[in-house]
Amino acid sequence: MKFIPSALLLLFAASFFSVWLLDRRRRHLVLFSLAFLSVSVGTVVQFALWPSDIGLNTLACAVLYTAGPLFLAEGVLVRSGKRMLVVEHAAWMTLVVGLLGYFYYAEDNLQLRACLLNLGMAGIVLSSAWQLRHLMCGSAIDRALLWMLSGLSLTFVLRTLLTGGSVPINDVSAFFESPFWLWAQFAMSVLGVAMGLGLLVVVCADVVLGLKAERDSDLLTSLLNRRGLETRAVQLFSGAIHQAVSVVACDIDRFKSINDRFGHAAGDSVLATVAETIRRCVRGRDLVARIGGEEFVILLRNCTVDDAYVLTEQLRREIAACDLAGLPEGFRVTCSFGIVESQSGEQLWDAIGRADKMLYAAKHAGRNRTVADRRELPAAA
């Protein structure tokens, strides 16, 4: 019975590792697995008193118990695109292991060792939660993860404050009968399972959202595809209150000739460069999609035709000035644009169809220009 908490933690370690084997891009799953494995092995080492020398056992447990929250903290940070500095890892490990070693070899005090270890683990988890505080403005899953980390660190602190006084000063055998240890085992079983299940829910949600993003994204440019655009644009075109949405249709001029002259690899480079330039020039709240071979659509939220024209002209000049890999030096790629403003009750593809008519007008007028609804046809650029 006494090894049940270790077995439960080991089960979660195996679960996270198994999911990682299915999707090795998610490196944080290995870190989650190592976090549960470290604490599981630490519990066995402590309970079995292996090595039997109390000093060595203390140091071994300190390393394993400290490694657990360090792996967990690194995992949640990596999931969010952050990292814990190697110096920070080393500082935490040195601090906790050093204090426990001091309070055995220099001043033998089991009570202080137990309390400092738990407070150190709380500090590690809390520091990762602090670095991820921006997740409070993120998705429900991100906020739930942040609350889990905060709750876990708080549990370590409260349990230490409430039961730390029951730990004997230097009687190791009595330690395993103390309320502190009994509550630690209970917390490890209950909170370990809760944390493991919570992280598995987060992982499953990440996988589902990742699959959805892949389904809705263009593989080459990472922009939205037709399906992704339709999904994201629903609220823009179905709201009870009409908001100004400018629809910009974009087409790369003479793209077929680029493929024919320089090959499809060069054509792919052109598509990727144009996509990146569009992404860089538009605002964060706008939608950008590749809906065909060399065709792009941009939805500019709360933007009139006149404002959209200014932005698009800047974008057109940016694209024309790009240096492109796989093409001769000095070769320039240009784009033509058509702009309309959505009308109340109009459907997405109806608006795109009107923008396409403006685009065709730009093509017929000589390419490398922008034609907007209700604006005079521009002169050649």
In 269-312, where do the E strands start and end? 287-290, 295-301
Tokens of 17: 């590792």
Contact 66, 101 (CB under 8 A): no
Q: Please provide the average confidence, as pLDDT, over all residues in the chain.
A: 90
The whole-angstrom separation of Cα 348 and Cα 233 is 7
**How many C-beta neighbours within 10 Å does residue 129 have?**
22
181 and 230: one domain? no
What does each C-alpha distance from 146 to 125, 131, 194 come to in angstroms?
Answer: 10, 10, 14
Assess whether 149 and 110 both reside in one domain. yes
Same domain, 266 and 187: no
- 3 state DSSP class of 216: coil
> Which run of H or of E encompasses 335?
strand 335-341
Structural domain ending residue among the three candidates 215, 245, 279: 215
| Assigned domain for 378 exists | no
Mean pLDDT, residues 267-282: 94
pLDDT > 70 in the chain, percent: 97
Q: How would you label 49-62 residue by residue, b for 16+ Cβ within 10 Å and e otherwise? A: eeeeeeeebbbbbb
pLDDT of residue 240: 45
Q: Percent of the chain, pLDDT > 90?
A: 66
362 inside domain: yes
Looking at residue 50, its pLDDT comes to: 85
Clarify whether residues 260 and 187 are in a common domain: no
Residue of 235 and 11 predicted with greater confidence? 11
Q: Which residues of 141-180 are buried (b: 16+ CB within 10 A; e: fewer)?
A: bbeebbebbbebbebbeebbeebbebbbeeeeeebeebeb
**37-41, 44-48, 217-221, 290-294: which has the minimum mean pLDDT?**
44-48
**pLDDT tier, 36 (very low <50, low <70, confident <90, very high otherwise):** very high
Residue whose entry in the numeric block shows the structure tokens 């092995």 = 41
CA-to-CA distance for 223 and 299, rounded, in angstroms? 13
Task: Supply 275's token pair.
Answer: 């996509």
Phi, psi torsion values for 116, nearest 5 degrees: -65, -40
Q: pLDDT band for 317, please (50, 70, 90 cuts).
A: very high
Examine residue 220 and state whether it is found in any structural domain, yes or no. no
In this model, does residue 110 exceed pLDDT 50?
Answer: yes
Asked if residue 377 has pLDDT above 70, the reply is no
Give residue 360's domain range: 226-372
Q: Where among 176, 195, 215 does a domain terminate?
A: 215
Question: What average pLDDT does the segment 361-367 reach?
Answer: 93
Of 70-84, 171-185, 332-346, least confident by mean pLDDT is 171-185
At 380, list the tokens. 């050649």
Statement: residue 381 has pLDDT above 70: no
Is 42 strand, coil or helix? helix
- If asked whether residues 68 and 184 sit together in one domain, one would say yes
Whether residue 98 is contained in a domain is answered as yes
Residue written as token pair 């505080």: 133
What CA–CA distance (Å, rounded) separates 336 from 249? 8
Is it the case that residue 28 has pLDDT exceeding 70?
yes
What does the pLDDT read at residue 380? 52
Tokens, residue 364: 């017929």
Verify that 164 and 307 share a domain, yes or no: no
Instruction: Collect all residues with Cβ–Cβ distance below 8 Å to 145 and sequence separation of at least 6.
Output: 76, 132, 135, 198, 199, 202
Residue type, 88: E
Q: How many domains does the chain have?
A: 2
3-state secondary structure of 246: strand
Are residues 124 and 194 located together in one domain of the fold? yes
Same domain for 368 and 342: yes
Q: How far apart are CA 242 and CA 246, in angstroms?
A: 12
Confidence of residue 290 (pLDDT cuts 50, 70, 90): very high
Cα 86–18–217 angle (5° rounding)?
80
Which residue in this structure is represented by tokens 């500019």?
A: 300
What are the tens digits of pLDDT across the range 232-269?
Answer: 888 777 754 567 899 999 999 999 999 999 999 999 99
